Amino acid sequence: MKRILCTLALAGLAATAVHAQKSAAVLAIEEYRAMLADGNPAELFEAKGEDLWKQKRGPKNASLEQCDLGQGPGVVKAVFVTLPRYFADTNKVQDLESRLVTCMETLQGFDAADIAKTPFGKGEQNNVTALATWIAAESRDMKFNLPQTHAKEQVAYEIGKRLFFQRGGAHDFSCASCHGADNWRIRLQDLPNLTKNPGDGVGFAAWPAYRVSNGQMWSMQLRLNDCYRQQRFPYPGFGSDATVALGVYLGVNSQGSKSIAPAIKR
Amino acid sequence: MADPMRIRAKAEGNIATVRVLMSHEMESGQRKDSAGKLIAAWHINEVSATHNGKVILTADWGPAVSKNPFLQFNIKGAKAGDKVGVTWKDNKGDSRTDEATVS
């Protein structure tokens, strides 16, 4: 038997052309991302989420298979590209994660407020992220088509737009400070212009995504939460109306763009 | 118990390319938690792969391998329908074995 000592260089691979002109740097990063995309660990979370959906859990010992994500109870295929949307039973516009938490409360008997308070990456939040990853994957390559017929959906869009441009915090930042024009970046990360449609698989259409640098699966809620952290704002509540409204704004702007979620990020 | 691996194996000519994605924390033992205490090492020590039951690869891994590791290798002479098995063992004594069919 031959013994091979395997050293995986993957995680330590650095983009070397950092200081070259932008095009070379961008090419190097793209090559690095392409290498990572083959074997995206998001698949592990997809498998876990699919399992969780069917598993009987919680105080009521029920599965989530009767959960209505907008296309009727139990329908998972193609729902992600229509969220956030208005739900009559809760009389609220909800995104995928806040809707999942509603289902976990009504069907499985979990305490929604308790889950919302749990930090990302801990306890039930891990399960919400895995479920969201799988459900997003069930809409891979489909085009965003958020409904804007209900009055609350239209209001959410307007609120999201205002929040996007609202400046505040210690640095007087807004979302638009970084995502308000084309070809901006932070260090080496290209920043999509989210005031218009950024195109297939960019911005709203790229999350949930696996972050290689910290080995974490990031949902849209965590993405928004971290954007606010970087702006030095207080953390927005998990599944709060503000984060959902921002989701509506970004999602409607991405109308017709393909979702590549779950994606892979640096 | 550990989460399942994802194994994909595809034959082209007489070579099969196997891609394995393992779900593991791979804690290096070098990091500290928020209280400043060292987080105990917890990583895969040993990986082995089999082709139709015969061991074809063994590897010693350590704390330098990334979280949720990805492993790719080729098997000469493997064809569609063959079974590929992968097993890992970690330093806490946990282990996981999964199998896939070459397509």
Q: Which two tokens stand for residue A257?
A: 């763009």
Give me the CATH code for the B6-29+37-101 domain, please: 2.60.40.10
pLDDT of residue A188: 74
Give the three-class secondary structure for A121.
Answer: coil
- Listed residue (A112, A78, A77) closest to A98, CA to CA: A112
The C-alpha atoms of residue A219 and residue A210 are separated, in whole angstroms, by: 9
- pLDDT at position A159 over 50: yes
The C-alpha atoms of residue A107 and residue A73 are separated, in whole angstroms, by: 11
Q: What is the ipTM of this complex?
A: 0.71
pLDDT of residue A34: 80
pLDDT of residue B87: 96
Q: Tell me, yes or no, if A227 is annotated catalytic.
A: yes
Which helix (H) or strand (E) element contains residue A161? helix A151-165
pLDDT of residue A10: 36
Cβ separation A44–B21 shorter than 8 A = yes
Give the gyration radius of chain B's Cα atoms: 15
Domains and CATH numbers, chain A: 42-265 (1.10.760.10)
Cβ separation B19–A3 shorter than 8 A = no
Instruction: For A120-146, write each residue's pLDDT tens digit.
Output: 988 999 999 999 999 999 999 999 999
Greatest C-alpha distance within chain A: 69
Instruction: For B68-92, write each residue's pLDDT tens digit.
Output: 899 999 999 998 999 999 999 999 9
> Which of B1, B8, B68 to mutate against chain A (most A CBs within 10 Å)?
B68
Nearest CA-CA distance, residue B82 and chain A, Å: 20
pLDDT of residue A2: 46
Instruction: For A61-107, write each residue's pLDDT tens digit.
Output: 999 999 999 999 999 999 999 999 999 999 999 999 999 999 999 99
Domain spans of chain B, in order of start: 6-29+37-101
Spatial CB neighbours of A48, under 8 Å, sequence gap ≥ 6: A130, A133, A134, B3
The C-alpha atoms of residue A81 and residue A84 are separated, in whole angstroms, by: 8
CA A102 → CA A13, A69, A90, A148, A217, distances in Å?
A: 41, 10, 8, 22, 21
pLDDT of residue A22: 58
